[in-house]
Amino acid sequence: MMQPCAFGSRRIYYNNFAEHLQNAYNPNVVYPGLPNRWTDDQWRGLVDMIAGFGFNVFEFWLVPRLFCRKGLESDFGREFARQMGVVIEHAHRRGVQVEFIAGLATVGERWDTLCPQLPADWAEIQYLWHTWLDRLPGIDIAAFGPGDPGACSRHGCSALTYIDRSLDLASQLADRHPQLGFELNLWGPPVFGWGIITGPPGWAGEFIPEHQASAWRFDKRRADETMTHLLRRLPEFPPQTCVGQNLGFNPDGNPLGDEDARPWIHEIAKTHPVLTWDFSLTEGENNVLPHYRLERLFQRRREERAAAPLAGGICFTMTPLLNQLSLYASAQSFLNPDADPSAVADRFATVVFGPRGHELTARWTLFEVVQDWGCYVKLELSRSEYHRQVTDLADVLRSLTGHEPAALPFHPTVSAYRQELLFFAEFLHDASAPTPDYDTLWQRYWKHVYAIYDHLPEHVDPRPRAATDRLLSRFKTWV
Ligand SMILES: [Zn+2]
């Protein structure tokens, strides 16, 4: 078994660049010929930045569009593997390991979930795991994810099936790749969807947005059975296996009542490192704004330290070219969970923007206008007062021109970062004016953030349009 690790020793930068999370601030690795492709040098710049922030693992999702035969055999899949090879090589030079996570059985551009109870499907699942690992030599850690999207409840599949089949795969892969580390992720109530996700009559495992909520249905008896089974089977996993488990069996990882996972974490941590996979702490999904959720982030870290302590975990981003502050603070929250969040923000802004950078600290929360997943910031301001304050924020950002001492490696540049912050401050200024033209604002935001979707057919999970509507709705109802 692995030795228990010190709190926060594995600090994972998790870049989710899935098909439904494309935007101007995220790399487009899946649609060649469309905007937001990154050069190898841009990737190296990103790795330098996250290493400088304090991360020691780079994690990406091997998204379903890649995790399938077509992904393996297409030009974009081969180019992805080549470019990840460049990232792996550079990351290793910087002392950063590279990890991928894939849904155990969710494949293809329409996010279908195969059923491991069916021999042909199980053979395909094994083929994909083995072949992708061969395509990514140098990868350090392979992580199993239950879903979101995807999970199976057909043919008797349950959360136990997920654990057992992950064990089978980990054992096979460890034989062929003795240096490979593993992470078994229990994301969900626990284990998202397995045995509980519903589908219509005749359902063959295809992704259906209307049924996704059923994957989160909590049942204490199921949770106890799942975690008991995990503890029984964990010793059979390869010795270099970690477990991904949040403090609570709910989307926000809140340890409340029967959904409190801490007693189980305490048991697992006696033999295996436990990592947080708390997605809710930094930016939510498809709420593309500069974020500031540092109070809750540091509070959660202290809870995670008290729970086991946890050996580390992910810091999620879908906007690495916009939310550098969140990334910096996330890495620092593992290194120094007792730090005052405002002091961390002060340090970041002062290093990046010079001595007057700290003037931003009390103003960052003005960007948190949408109460989405994981946002506990409450902006209790009248529309006119908000407008006044966000005008002031834009003025501060304009006045910081010229202060660019880059004591931290920064990507892409401090100047570009400031310009993007200013775009949002000016957008929010205009949106909070007494009588804005909402249609024009909608187009302005869409064009700046989500323009890539103008080139794509509607995806099975078309959230970007709804996200743009939601942002503008905030101002339509704000008095
Ligand atoms: Zn099944």
Q: How far is the CA of 237 from the centre of ligand 1 (A)?
A: 22
Q: Looking at residue 363, what DSSP letter applies?
A: G
Q: How far is the CA of 249 from the centre of ligand 1 (A)?
A: 22
Domain tally, the chain: 2
Q: How far is the CA of 153 from the centre of ligand 1 (A)?
A: 5
Axis crossing angle, helix 383-399 with helix 414-431, rounded to the nearest 10: 160
Q: How far apart are CA 278 and CA 191, in angstroms?
A: 14
Last residue of a domain, one of 344, 363, 380: 344
- Backbone phi and psi for residue 18, each to the nearest 5 degrees, phi listed first: -70, 170
Mean pLDDT for the stretch of residues 209-235: 97
Q: Are residues 251 and 400 in the same domain?
A: no
The residue count of the chain comes to: 479
For 15, the token pair is: 């870049």
Q: How far is the CA of 471 from the centre of ligand 1 (A)?
A: 38
Q: Are residues 326 and 433 in the same domain?
A: no
Q: How far is the CA of 432 from the centre of ligand 1 (A)?
A: 49
Q: Residue 4 falls within a domain, yes or no?
A: no
Q: How far is the CA of 288 from the centre of ligand 1 (A)?
A: 35
Task: For 112-153, write each residue's pLDDT tens digit.
Answer: 999 999 999 999 999 999 999 999 999 999 999 999 899 999
Last residue of a domain, one of 292, 318, 344: 344
Residue 62's SS3 state is: coil
Q: Are residues 325 and 378 in the same domain?
A: no
Strand intervals (E) in 303-409:
312-317
Q: Residue 1 falls within a domain, yes or no?
A: no
The model's confidence at residue 300, banded by pLDDT at 50, 70 and 90, is very high
Q: Are residues 62 and 95 in the same domain?
A: yes
In the predicted model, is pLDDT for residue 9 greater than 80?
Answer: yes
315 pairs with which residues across the strands?
13
Query: What's 259's domain CATH number?
Result: 3.20.20.80
Please choose, from the candidates 51, 46, 54, 48, the residue with its C-alpha nearest in 3D space to the C-alpha of residue 15. Answer: 46
Q: Are residues 326 and 368 in the same domain?
A: no
* Phi-psi sector, 12: left (phi>0), alpha (psi -120 to 50), beta: beta
Q: Are residues 297 and 386 in the same domain?
A: no
Q: Are residues 324 and 411 in the same domain?
A: no
Task: For 247-298, write each residue's pLDDT tens digit.
Answer: 999 999 999 999 999 999 999 999 999 999 999 999 999 999 999 999 999 9
Q: How far is the CA of 125 from the centre of ligand 1 (A)?
A: 12
* Phi-psi sector, 209: left (phi>0), alpha (psi -120 to 50), beta: alpha
Cα–Cα–Cα angle for 86, 91, 94, rounded to 5 degrees:
135
Using a pLDDT cut of 90, give the percent of the chain over it.
Answer: 94
- Backbone phi and psi for residue 5, each to the nearest 5 degrees, phi listed first: -100, 155
Q: Are residues 336 and 388 in the same domain?
A: no
Q: Kind of pairing, strands 106-107 and 112-113?
A: antiparallel
Last residue of a domain, one of 312, 344, 376: 344
Q: How far is the CA of 124 from the centre of ligand 1 (A)?
A: 13
Q: Are residues 269 and 405 in the same domain?
A: no
In the predicted model, is pLDDT for residue 422 greater than 80?
Answer: yes
Q: How far is the CA of 80 from the centre of ligand 1 (A)?
A: 29
Q: How far is the CA of 396 from the centre of ligand 1 (A)?
A: 55
Q: How far is the CA of 169 from the centre of ligand 1 (A)?
A: 16
Q: Residue 402 falls within a domain, yes or no?
A: yes
Q: Residue 349 falls within a domain, yes or no?
A: no
Q: How far is the CA of 219 from the centre of ligand 1 (A)?
A: 20
Mean pLDDT for the stretch of residues 319-329: 98
Q: Residue 323 falls within a domain, yes or no?
A: yes
Q: Are residues 133 and 176 in the same domain?
A: yes
Q: Are residues 21 and 96 in the same domain?
A: yes
Q: How far is the CA of 107 from the centre of ligand 1 (A)?
A: 14
pLDDT given at position 457? 86
pTM of the model: 0.97
CB 320 within 8 A of CB 26: yes
Q: How far is the CA of 111 from the centre of ligand 1 (A)?
A: 15
Range of the domain at 104: 10-344
Q: How far is the CA of 207 from the centre of ligand 1 (A)?
A: 14
Burial of 39 (0-12, 13-18, 19+ CB in 10 A): exposed
Q: How far is the CA of 117 from the centre of ligand 1 (A)?
A: 5
Please choose, from the candidates 95, 65, 93, the residue with its C-alpha nearest in 3D space to the C-alpha of residue 80. Answer: 65
Q: Are residues 43 and 80 in the same domain?
A: yes
Q: How far is the CA of 224 from the centre of ligand 1 (A)?
A: 21
